[in-house]
Amino acid sequence: MTSTRSTDHSTPPESPSHAPSRAVRGLLSVVIPCHNEQEVIEATHARLAEVLPRSGMDFEVLYVDDGSRDQTLARLEAIAARDARVQVIELARNFGQQAAMSAGLAAAHGDAIVITDADLQDPPEVILEMVRRWQDGVDVAYGRRRSRDGETRFKLLTASLFHRMFARLVPYPMPVDTGDFKLIDRAVADAVVALPEKRRYLRSLVPWAGFRHEPVWYDRHARLAGQTKYSPWKLLKLAADALILSSDAPVRLTWVATAGLALVGGAAAAVATGSWWMSAAGTGREPTIAAITAVACLVGAVQTAAVAVVGEYVVRGYRESQGRPTWVVRRTIGGGRAAARPSAKAA
Ligand code: UDP
Ligand code: MG
């Protein structure tokens, strides 16, 4: 069923692939996390049902309902009732997008698996190009955004800065200007699903696994309908999670702050000693209360920040040690295409 798989972990992203071509047939899984997407979900499925047959592959679509409180689940049930290629995984509550995507990935049977959002921001037609790249031997064909409609200037700027900073801080090659929209080979999915860690940030776990990555450039559209599920605060929490789960840099940065403070302190001591010596003992200017308070607050803030950074790692370590699952499934509706083709299930 599946084709040849590359396991070259040393190849950086965007390197040309020389792996032999994969079989044209096979099963394509599309994983879609959904949280309160009643306005778009029907349109999304209609577009996918129109586009995916053009891939030349059999396909299944796995919608993961992540604790929606609107009509999303009812609409997904209706879609699954009339389309045997659809499976709906209903999570027991809202576990978050990362958990929802992970649940879909774990349930997917495909030789290749696409992850995409429910809101048609990522045009399904791009999946066809991703499939072609995969058939040519690429293991991860990730959507790289040429442009992004419907986002504020502030979000574009902060996202771009964060992506670039993040790529410098993680200790493995990390693509920029990309999100969750990507196609990954079964071998990559197996490597990621097998990881024991509970708290997951898939955007960095997939590059962590290695394999052959290639960008597929595309223009990201505005959301078809509905609202983003990410407030600035939720985005900030996601960014903190991303950084702390993927990099030791925050702890290392506290050393930089320590060195910076030591340098400032040393310079201040030299100036104070010099001015005392130049102006005869005792006649130099005394430090003001405000200056002392400023220094004490600065030192205190850096120390508190260092403790807080360590605390962030400790909390995450504690959560991992509790061993709670990343998500809980309440119900699964429909078998997806794989149910009709048990042979498609990867060993
Ligand atoms: N989503 C989810 N659980 C959540 C939040 C979001 O499954 O707790 C889904 C959402 O339905 C969408 C995808 O994750 O399919 C991305 O969310 P959204 O489009 O709101 O993010 P944005 O594109 O604005 O960053
Ligand atoms: Mg979106």
CB 240 within 8 A of CB 285: no
Q: Is the pLDDT of residue 89 over 80?
A: yes
List b or e across 136-175, with b for residues whose CB sees 16 or more CB atoms inside 10 angstroms: ebbbbbbbbbeebeebeeeeeeebeebbeebbebbeeebb
Distance of CA 154 to the CA centre of its chain: 20
- For residue 6, the model assigns a pLDDT of 40
Total count of residues recorded for the chain: 347
Closest ligand 1 atom, residue 32 Cα: 15
What does the alpha-carbon distance between residue 105 and residue 141 come to, in Å, rounded to a whole number? 16
Instruction: Provide the whole-model pTM.
Output: 0.82
Q: pLDDT at position 284, please?
A: 54
Q: Ligand 1 within 6 A of 66 CB?
A: yes
Cβ of 17 below 6 Å from ligand 1 = no
Could you give the dihedral angle defined by the CA atoms of residues 136, 142, 147 and 151, in that order, rounded to the nearest 10 degrees? Answer: 160
Taking the C-alpha atoms of residue 131 and residue 56, their distance in angstroms, rounded to an integer, is 9
Query: Crossing angle of helices 72-82/41-51, nearest 10°?
Result: 30
Q: For the residues 111-118, what does the mean pLDDT come to?
A: 97
pLDDT over threshold 50, residue 59: yes
Interval between CA 231 and ligand 1 midpoint (Å): 11
Q: How confident is the model at residue 280 (pLDDT cuts 50, 70, 90)?
A: low
Closest-approaching ligand to the CA atom of 69: 1
Confidence check: pLDDT of 243 > 70: yes
Bridge partners of 58?
27
Q: How far is the CA of 152 from the centre of ligand 2 (A)?
A: 13
Contacts of 100 (CB under 8 A, 6+ apart): 33, 34, 35, 64, 66, 91, 327
The answer to which of 210-224, 265-279, 323-337 has the lowest mean pLDDT is 265-279
pLDDT given for residue 138 in this prediction: 95
DSSP secondary structure letters along 80-116: HHH-TTEEEEEESS---HHHHHHHHHHH---SEEEE-
pLDDT of residue 55: 93
| Residue 91 and residue 67 in contact, taking contact as beta carbons nearer than 8 Å | yes
pLDDT of residue 226: 82
CA 35–ligand 1 middle distance (angstroms): 6
Inter-residue contact 335 to 57 (CB < 8 Å): no
Phi, psi at residue 259, to the nearest 5°? -65, -40
| 54 pLDDT higher than 90 | yes
Give the closest residue to 72 by CA, choosing from 225, 193, 279, 178: 225
User: What tokens were used for 249?
Assistant: 């840099």
Query: Is any ligand 1 atom within 6 A of the Cβ of residue 228?
Result: yes
DSSP for residue 213: E
Which pLDDT tens digit goes with each residue over 171-209? 999 999 899 999 999 999 999 999 999 999 999 999 999
**338 pLDDT more than 60:** no
Per-residue pLDDT of 287-306, as tens digits, reads 677 778 878 888 888 888 88
The residue whose C-alpha atom lies closest to atom 16 belonging to ligand 1 is 117
Residue nearest to atom 2 of ligand 1 (CA): 97
More confident residue, 252 or 2: 252
Atom of ligand 1 at shortest range from CA of 235: 25
* Structure token pair of residue 164: 């670039």
Whether 65 contacts 91, CB under 8 Å: yes
Q: What percent of the chain has pLDDT over 90?
A: 55
| Index of the ligand 1 atom closest to the CA of residue 117 | 15
Give the pLDDT of residue 281. 57
216 three-state secondary structure: strand
Distances (CA, A) of 119 to 143, 149, 154, 293: 15, 13, 21, 51
Element (H, E) at 187: helix 186-193
Report the relative pairing of strands 329-333 and 86-91 from DSSP bridges. Answer: antiparallel
Instruction: Compute, in angstroms, the gap from residue 266 CA to the centroid of ligand 2.
Output: 50
| Mean confidence (pLDDT) of the chain | 86
